[in-house]
Structure 1
Amino acid sequence: MRQAASADVPEIVAMLADDPLGARRENPADQAPYRAAFERIAADPNQLLFVAEDADDPAAGIVGTLTLAVLHTLSRQGASRALVEAVRVRSDARGGGLGTELMKLAIEEARGRGCALVQLTSDVTRLEAHRFYERLGFEATHLGFKMEL
């Protein structure tokens, strides 16, 4: 596992698009917005984009990814929190513990940056993901809201 490089963007986007929700939201044919987003992430010291490669087959390419953002707030006595987003494991690499390792990396990074908690959202239809996060010790404590702009 390592921080993503610009060259990884097409493989990351392919993973984001490789499920029913992502297929509706993502457009891998147009890489320009993803490359611009990568540059913003890379320039922000409070955001990290991690990728995982197959240790047994480095030629297999990127098999997992997640984004970690550190948010500094006044709540909780000025505590920082980490937000985990866009967790994906390539469909042919699921079930081997890679998602757990990615999440452990994110949690340790958050802990090392002094965060008081790690939070994430997961679409209500992703029931397997919910079970995965609960196995890692996450609790469904809040109701989330979004507004498309």
Structure 2
Amino acid sequence: MNLTYRLATEADLPEIVSMLADDKLGATRETFQEPLPMAYLEAFRSITNDKQQELTVVEADGVILATFQLTFIQYLTYRGSIRAQIEAVRVKSTHRGQGVGTELFQYAIQRAREKGAHILQLTTDKKRPEAKRFYISLGFVDSHEGMKLAIS
């Protein structure tokens, strides 16, 4: 499959939110309806106006198959390095298991290198053991224990 990558446009937003909502966990936290809730458009505009963030769509023959968001975090440790955080990785359910996710990550890793990041990190929900196995197969290491605090 010949995949292409590009930054998302506002016109892509319904397709992106549809993918985010199309799994067990996403269905409990996303609201896919048309028109989309304004919060999605506001978030999209915030992401696209931030030079340290990239919301990318993955296409084949002009059809969006996947999406992900990269955030580049400048920090002082590691001699003032940059780390890349990958979030909201989704492959359309109709295209899972066909290598799209693997190619997506190869692209994301290369993109992080191009931006000067020394590490690419992610989190995955403990309710998604298959995702964790996939990330490990790509070379990600379960090296840290992540913690979150819901504040709203």
TM-score band w.r.t. shorter chain: over 0.9
- Give the RMSD, CA atoms, in angstroms: 1.0
Query: Identity of aligned pairs, percent?
Result: 47
Residue in 2 that maps onto 1:38: 44
Unaligned runs of 5+ in 2: none
Q: CA deviation at 1:81?
A: 0.2
**Aligned pair partner of 1:131 in 126, 133, 138:** 133
Is the Cα–Cα contact under 8 Å of residues 10 and 31 in structure 1 kept in the other structure?
no
**Aligned pair partner of 1:15 in 19, 22, 35:** 19
Q: Which amino acid aligns with 1:66?
A: F
Residue in 2 that maps onto 1:3: 7
Residue in 1 that maps onto 2:80: 78
**Aligned pair partner of 2:56 in 50, 54, 58:** 50
Q: Secondary structure at 1:105's aligned position in 2?
A: helix
Q: Give the TM-score taking structure 1 as reference length.
A: 0.93
Unaligned runs of 5+ in 1: none
Runs of 4+ in structure 1 off by over 4 angstroms are none
Count of paired positions: 145
Cα deviations across residues 33-57 of structure 1 (Å, max 9, x unaligned)? 11111101110111001111223xx
Residue in 1 that maps onto 2:143: 141
**Aligned pair partner of 1:112 in 109, 114, 130:** 114
**Aligned pair partner of 2:94 in 92, 95, 98:** 92
Q: Give the TM-score taking structure 2 as reference length.
A: 0.91
Is the Cα–Cα contact under 8 Å of residues 67 and 86 in structure 1 kept in the other structure?
yes
Q: Secondary structure at 2:143's aligned position in 1?
A: coil
